[in-house]
Amino acid sequence: MTILTGDSVTKLFTDVVKLVKQGQHVSPRGMATREVLDVHLALTRPRARLLLASPARVLNVAFAVAETVWILSGSDDEWIYGFNGQLRKYADDGVLRGAYGPRMRRWGGHVDQLAQVLALLKADPDSRRAVIQLYDPARDSAGHRDVPCTLGFRFHLRRGRLHMSTTMRSQDLWTGMPYDLFFTTTLHELMAGWLGVELGTYRHHVDSLHLYEDDLERAEAVTSVAGSSGELPDLAVPWEGFDALLAAVQGGAVSGHPGWDAMAKVLGSYRLWKAGERATAQHIADRVRGPLGVGLRAWYEELQVRAGSSAAAR
């Protein structure tokens, strides 16, 4: 097992890139890949969840926020494609069959695993049974395009601090890892808030951590990026009314909670950007403080660079 510890996702990401670049050469499904098996990542500040590695790796921050809201609300609705159209190629009949949200909030059509874990830890704080399962052999052997990379989550409440662990069968370092960590650490923070305890260490275990050869050249530039980043605003809110809050954030509505209002502004800004109202979108982005604002503005700069490159190529 390889163990890496960092105080931010940015620090972990840069260290993981250095590790995986030296990985074994494998070619699952004919795709040339560098791979390291059995990697354990520990994040000591889960709220430092946003990768800031511009210009080497620029995230679509709006998609990171949208995917988090989408999963937490238990959704597999198509509105997520408005934030990442690439997801459509993994859909069957327009639906991502491996979507985490329905499995977490409506396993078997009716079991809310999130509510179950919360109730369990309130009743038995020392429990070892606080588990959310995502991978479903009965469903995931059916041959659909989207099969969950994440097997599940575990929570342990010890000495007033909530620790969370994620286990993944597979993790694409370049494309998937930054977005997965954004979501899972948000879930970690929320659960700690619902329990009224401190946020502990987040652990991320990956069986196959890999980097596709097509991404290797771009990944080389990440190693020169500064190794840490700041924490995002507090997202702790009551469990009662949580789903209504998510619906409001999805629609870009202000809730009065600074952390979630910033998330709503990111989503609203990006919708305007895609609608061609770039000046208004940029104005909203300029008003989003902290790492989220930095990341969103970097994404808009990246989109402008890509647009310029496309125009120059024509």
- For each of the domains in the chain, give its residue range(s) and CATH number, in order of start: 2-309 (3.30.572.10)
Question: pTM higher than 0.75, yes or no?
Answer: yes
CA distance 48 to 40: 18
Is 90 exceeded by the pLDDT of residue 108? yes
Give me the residue label for tokens 């069959």.
97
Compute the distance between CA of residue 48 and CA of residue 233 in angstroms, rounded to an integer: 9
Q: How many CB atoms lie within 10 A of CB 135?
A: 17
Residue 149 falls in the annotated catalytic set: yes
In tens, the pLDDT along 170-216 reads 999 999 999 999 999 999 999 999 999 999 999 999 999 999 999 98
Q: Looking at the predicted structure, is the pLDDT value of residue 314 above 80?
A: no
Q: Does the pLDDT at position 313 exceed 90?
A: no
Cα pseudo-dihedral 28, 34, 37, 38, rounded to 10: -120
Q: Please count the residues of the chain.
A: 314
Give me the catalytic one of 16, 43, 117, 149: 149
- Stretch (H or E) spanning 5: strand 2-6
Cis before residue 55, ω within 30 degrees of 0? yes
- pLDDT score of 229 more than 90: no
